[in-house]
Amino acid sequence: MLDLSFLLFGRGNYQIDWNKIMLKINDLHAVVGEARSQILTGLSLKVPAGEVHAIMGPNGAGKSTLSYVLTGRDDYEVTEGTVELGGQNLLDMEPEERAASGLFLSFQYPLEIPGVPTMTFLKTALNAQRKARGEEEMGAPEFLKKARALAKELKIKPDMLKRPLNVGFSGGEKKRMEIFQMMMLEPSFIVMDETDSGLDVDALRIVADGVNSLRSPDRGMLIITHYQRLLDYITPDKVHVLAGGKIAASGDADFAKLLEKEGYDKYAA
């Protein structure tokens, strides 16, 4: 396990009622793109604070759509249903407001941002979130200290932090950079979209250690994955099958193994 106790500091005077933090999705319907294809067809899900839930399912079931609907991407339109995070109506908020309220998405394909150094990007993001929450901005020395310590833990070379974000990074480096950002931003709810894709075993372990260190009674997580592999390293509290745009079945951690063995065929119909 990583020693990440230093992450507990620096929250300032910001008071959150952590017991309320929970993702509550009710009867969610969503259409995508100009064609308005119906992808989510009445999805309901509750993730209590302190729990890690996994969402598994066949390709095209709506897994990535769910992550984009939660984070408010353009072209993903909710036609019915509600989503609440910590008692707040997420669907009324801009993507950056959702981020400031504690929602973090680890992207399946993290974007390259040419010309914007990683540290500049992250400091801008961190302080924009703090500003939106009415907190004091983090000064450069404190930010640098925290970033350097964390980079070391995640085996990220200091040189990478100076380079434009994700530009020329390998698939594994990009995923590690997602975890780095996640740990710097300390979100209260984390959605991970196919984080294991493109990772070798060593990188997978580093990523999983990072995620596990963030497990806490006041934080919820949703892990979206096609394969069971990542769940060998991050044990979920619950496993759900997403098929045909809604939750088709749910179970405990062992359910993932069964799904891996039996496949998703029987949920597809």
The rounded distance, in Å, linking the Cα atoms of 65 and 31 is 9
Spell out where the chain has E strands: 23-32, 37-47, 52-56, 76-85, 88-89, 103-106, 189-193, 220-225, 238-243, 246-251
Q: Quick one: the chain helix, strand, coil %, rounded to 5?
A: 40, 25, 35
Give the one residue of 48, 88, 121, 216 binding another protein; rule: CB under 8 A: 121
With binding defined as CB under 8 A, does residue 113 bind another protein? Answer: yes
CA-wise closest residue to 161 among 187, 131, 184: 184
**Structure-token match 């975890």, residue found:** 179
Query: CB of 266: closest distance to another protein in angstroms?
Result: 34
Out of 3, 34, 94, 254, which residue is the one contacting another protein (CB under 8 A)?
A: 94
CB-nearer residue toward another protein: 121 or 227: 121
Q: How far is the CB of 112 from another protein (least distance, A)?
A: 8
- Which residues inside 132-191 make contact with another protein, applying CB under 8 A? 132, 164, 181, 185
The smaller minimum CB distance to another protein, of residues 132 and 258, is found at: 132
Burial of 139 (0-12, 13-18, 19+ CB in 10 A): exposed
**In contact, 107 and 193? CB cutoff 8 Å:** yes
**Shortest Å distance, C-beta 111 to another protein:** 4
Q: Is position 112 an interface residue for another protein (rule: CB under 8 A)?
A: yes
Q: Does 248 bind another protein (CB under 8 A)?
A: no
Q: Is residue 221 near another protein by the rule CB under 8 A?
A: no
Smallest gap, in angstroms, from Cβ of residue 20 to another protein?
20
Asked if 23 is part of the footprint of another protein (rule: CB under 8 A), the reply reads no
Q: Which of 100, 151, 199, 204 binds another protein (CB under 8 A)?
A: 100
Q: Could you tell me which of 263, 199, 264 has the C-alpha nearest to residue 232? A: 199
